[in-house]
């Protein structure tokens, strides 16, 4: 696959998905960086891996099961101890609609 040329629009689109606001200087900087990085990564085009299985973990990981026994969990007070935005024992978030 040819290296995609990253445009200003692509950087803006990706930043929006990632919930980052970039100014025009940052957009130009990241556009250049991304193009440089992806073109350096073209190294991997040289290798054929069609018959290779992917390793999502370095060692084979199997499903781990345990008995479903209720245990004490984080208290409401502790769970809320790190937020500045709370009300009546709930997290208070930004407007959704």
Partner 1 sequence: MTKYTMSVKEFLEESRKGNINFLDFAAALLEETQKLNKKFQLLREICDIRDRLYLNPPLNGLPISVKDCICVKGVQSYAGSKILEGYIPTFDATCVDRLKDNGVTILGKTNQDEFGFGTFSTNSGFEVPKNPLDPLRSCGGSSGGAAGLVAALDYPHVALAQSTGGSISAPAAFCGVVGITPTYGLVSRYGLIDYANSLDKIGVIGKSVHDVALILSIISGKDEKDQTSIGEKKDYSKDLSSTKDLKGVKIAVPKEYFQNLEEEVEKEVWNAIKKMESNGATYEKVSLKNTKYGVAAYYIIATAEASTNLAKYCGMRYGMHGKLEGNFNEYFSTVRTSGLTEEAKRRIILGTFTRMAGYRDAYYLKAMKIRTLIIEEHKNIFKKFDVIASPSMPIQPPKFKEIKKLTPVENYQMDFLTIPANLAGMPHLSVPVAKKTPIGLHLTADHLSEDKLFKIGSVFEKVR
Enumerate binding residues for partner 1 (CB under 8 A).
Answer: 1, 4, 6, 10-11, 14-15, 17-22, 26, 30, 33-34, 36-37, 40-41, 43-44, 47, 49, 52-59, 61, 63-64, 66, 74, 78-79, 81-85, 91-97
Please identify, using beta-carbon distances, which residue of 58 and 89 lies nearer to partner 1: 58
Query: Running DSSP on this structure, what letter comes out for residue 49?
Result: -
Q: How far is the CB of 10 from partner 1 (least distance, A)?
A: 7
Closest by CA to 33, choosing from 44, 49, 22, is 22
Q: How far is the CB of 24 from partner 1 (least distance, A)?
A: 14
Q: Spell out the residues 6+ positions from residue 83 whose beta carbon is closer than 8 angstroms to its own.
A: 91, 92
Closest by CA to 6, choosing from 40, 24, 41, 32, is 32
Cα(25)–Cα(10) distance, rounded to whole angstroms? 15
Q: How far is the CB of 71 from partner 1 (least distance, A)?
A: 10
């Amino acid at each position: 696959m040819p290296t995609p040329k990253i445009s200003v629009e692509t950087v803006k689109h990706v930043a929006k998905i990632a919930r980052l606001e970039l100014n025009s200087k940052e957009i130009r900087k990241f556009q250049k960086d991304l193009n440089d990085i992806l073109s350096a990564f073209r190294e991997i085009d040289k290798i054929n891996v069609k018959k290779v299985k992917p390793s999502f973990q370095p060692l084979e990981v199997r499903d781990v099961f345990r008995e479903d026994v209720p245990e004490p969990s984080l208290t409401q007070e502790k769970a809320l101890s790190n937020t500045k935005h709370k009300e009546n024992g709930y997290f208070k978030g930004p407007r959704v609609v």
